[in-house]
Amino acid sequence: MQTDHQSYMPDAEESLPEVLMRIVTELHDVAYLIERIEPQLWSGHGSATDPADKMMVLQGVDLAVQKTRGLAEFIDTITASIPDTCLVDISTAVNLIKLADMKKALGSGLLRHGHSQPLTKASGDFEAF
């Protein structure tokens, strides 16, 4: 993860549906990242030693994934009914984002393909933040 304190200045207003679809992509990525935690919790590497506590943590993780995907699907569905001529200025909103990768993904005008942490990264690789 990288933080970025630079300002983002879009060229002009952007189509609201395009902006919302970039948010949908980010929400799906968040769900994916949360899901990758679940196997670690099942394998016993988590801090909860009581099985009931561990189950509550796992249920919380599962709920977070479901809610994130639900939000993505909700935004995706309502976006279909918004005309491309509906424009928004996202410069202030993008400037509030601290993570450089997310700022780039939401502010670039391009949909990102893949995940922010691909499975091909070697175990132990990290980015300091």
DSSP element (H, E) containing 87: strand 87-88
Torsion sign (Cα): 65, 68, 72, 75: positive
* 89 part of a folded domain: yes
* 7 part of a folded domain: no
For residue 122, pLDDT beyond 80: no
Number of domains into which the chain is organized: 1
* 119 part of a folded domain: no
* 118 part of a folded domain: no
- From 66, 42, 39, select the one nearest 54 (Cα to Cα): 42
* 116 part of a folded domain: no
Per-residue confidence band for 90, with pLDDT thresholds at 50, 70 and 90: very high
Q: Which tens digits make up the pLDDT trace of 12-60?
A: 689 999 999 999 999 999 999 998 888 777 776 545 567 888 888 889 9
* 92 part of a folded domain: yes
Output the average pLDDT for the chain.
79
- For residue 37, the enclosing domain spans 14-107
**Angle formed by the axes of helices 51-79 and 16-35, nearest 10°:** 160
| One-letter amino acid for residue 32 of the chain | Y
What pLDDT score was predicted for residue 129? 45
Provide Rg for the chain, Cα atoms: 17
Per-residue confidence band for 77, with pLDDT thresholds at 50, 70 and 90: very high
* 6 part of a folded domain: no
* 72 part of a folded domain: yes
